[in-house]
Every structure is written in structure tokens, then in C-alpha cells.
Structure 1
């Protein structure tokens, strides 16, 4: 039993550190979406920037458990992390909008998505700073910045200061925490 405990603990530490301990991706960041050649129309981007956030979503944990899959609940409500390179949107190159899987809040677009080499979908900026909430997180001896949905408070991923220009940020997100709307 002790061996199993240490194995689970070790795996968790590796998983937490994997997204945090990346080489500087600024120089090697490549756009993975077709945004460079085929960006979202200006009116779509303007609409997303100006769109009201909507009412705050408040539900009991029982309601969340009923509405979300087991994996979604683990990531979105229990602040878990999905496996690197084994997720739906890391290599997604389609043009569109990424929204919170729990409440539908549009948070990121393909235009700011890039290949960070981490195995999780990465973005250098949200649609608007009002769409995400950044929270200092202290766990397992590390200090990181957690990214939450500003509408429902669900855990989406983390943000690190090693991304590409123009922001220098890398929003390292869980695919299971996102829904993708191709546009």
C-alpha cells in the first residue's frame, strides 16, 4: 500500500512539474492554427472581445458531478491535470474559439494558439482578460499561477512567463477543460 501511495505521489509531482518546467519557448514557438494564413474574421474577434461575460455560474458540487464527465470533474472542479500529449486539442490546427467546458465562456482563439512542445494546448493570450481569472497557487513546494474560468471558477490550467511575443506568456491548458467551436 505504501509503495502504491509513493508511486501515485511521484506521478502527481511529475505531472505538476511537467507543464511548469519548460525551456523558454519564446524563440521556438510555432503557430499551430491556420491563423497566420487564414485568421478569424475581424468582426468575430471584435464580437468576442465585446461580448458580455454573462451571469456568474454557481452550482453545488453535486450538480457539477451530475453534469460533467468523471475526467471533466477531476480537471475542472478538483484542479486535476490530464496527461500530456494524450488530449484532444494539443495538436488541433483548426481555426476557432475555445470555451470553458463547464459553462461555455469563450476564453481563447486559435489565433493565439502555439506549439509549446509541452503536450497541452498553449496560448499566448486570452480573448479578453475579463474571461479568465489568474490565481496564485501554492502546492507541492511550487508557486504557480492557476487559470480559472472567470464565469464559473473552473480550473482550466496554468499560465507561465515563458511564452512567445507579443505577451511572453504561455497559457498551458487542459483540453478536457475546453470545448472547441470551429469557425
Structure 2
């Protein structure tokens, strides 16, 4: 059986999204993206985060204080690397996105810390950027 993700993603994007890897901080293509639009799952295209919820957390990864109204981001416990964290994943295709922490800005107080390699960005003008 062919792994459709292995055939369509770069090795790095596959490692992040399908094997719960983490890209190095401050290296992601979407870290400094500031235009209006949407961040979409790299694997299936599901809407994940509207650009207006993005903020600079200074952590080295794109950060958002809320997910899209489509509620495509799921949560599960992650105890890897000797830490207790909450992993975030795409509810549509189970792609690993990153983690969420309770130290974000109002109104939610959440910081969705997301790998650029797990997303693509589409601006309101139709421009597309791959993470």
C-alpha cells in the first residue's frame, strides 16, 4: 500500500506531520507571514487558523491564540521527551501540528505553537505560501 503523504510531502514535512517531528525554531517559512488570510493543513487543506489570530510569541514558531471556526484542530496528551504537553493535530487527517500552551494573549489565553512545515498559507488576495 502506498503512503500518499510520503509521495506528496517533502521529507521534512512528512517527518513533522506524520511522525510528530518539530522543525528548528526561527526557521519556518510562515514565521514572519503577516498578511490577512488562512493557515491550512499541509496534508489535507483543512482550515486551521485565521491570520487575525496570529501573534509574535517570540518562541520561534508561528503562534496563534485561537483556531478557525471550523474547529479542525484537535488535542491529545503528549508525554514525549519527559514533558507533559498538549499536542495539537488536524482533525481531518491526523497531521501533527505542534502544541498548545496556556500562556497566550486574551481573549483565549492560549498559544497554539505550530510548525510552519505542517501548514500552507493562502492570503485573502489568493497568494499561496508553502510552509
Partner of 2:69: 128
Give the corresponding residue for 1:10: none
Which residue does 1:40 correspond to in 2? none
| Greater percentage in strand | 2
Does 2:14 correspond to 1:73?
A: yes
Work out whether residues 48 and 71 of structure 2, in 8 Å CA contact, stay in contact via their aligned partners in 1. Answer: no
Query: What's 1:9 paired with?
Result: none
Shift of 1:61: 6.8
Q: What root-mean-square deviation, in Å, do the aligned CA atoms of Structure 1 and Structure 2 show?
A: 1.2
1:162 counterpart (80, 90, 103) = 103
TM-score of the two chains, using structure 2 as the length reference: 0.91
Distance 1:61 1:119, change over 3 A: farther
TM-aligned CA deviation for residue 105 of structure 1: 0.2
Distance 2:58 2:41 in 1: 22
Task: Map 1:24-173 onto structure 2 (within 5 A).
Answer: 62-128=3-69, 130-173=71-114
The structure whose Rg is larger is 1
Q: Secondary structure at the match of 2:76?
A: strand
1:61 and 1:138, CA in 2 relative to 1: closer, same or farther beyond 3 A? farther
SS of 1:108's partner is strand
What secondary structure is seen at the aligned counterpart in 2 of 1:140?
helix
Tell me the TM-score normalised to structure 1 length: 0.65
More helix by percentage: 1
- Give the gaps of 5 or more residues in structure 1: 1-59
Runs of at least 5 residues in structure 2 that lack an aligned partner in the other structure: 125-131
Q: CA deviation at 1:162?
A: 0.3
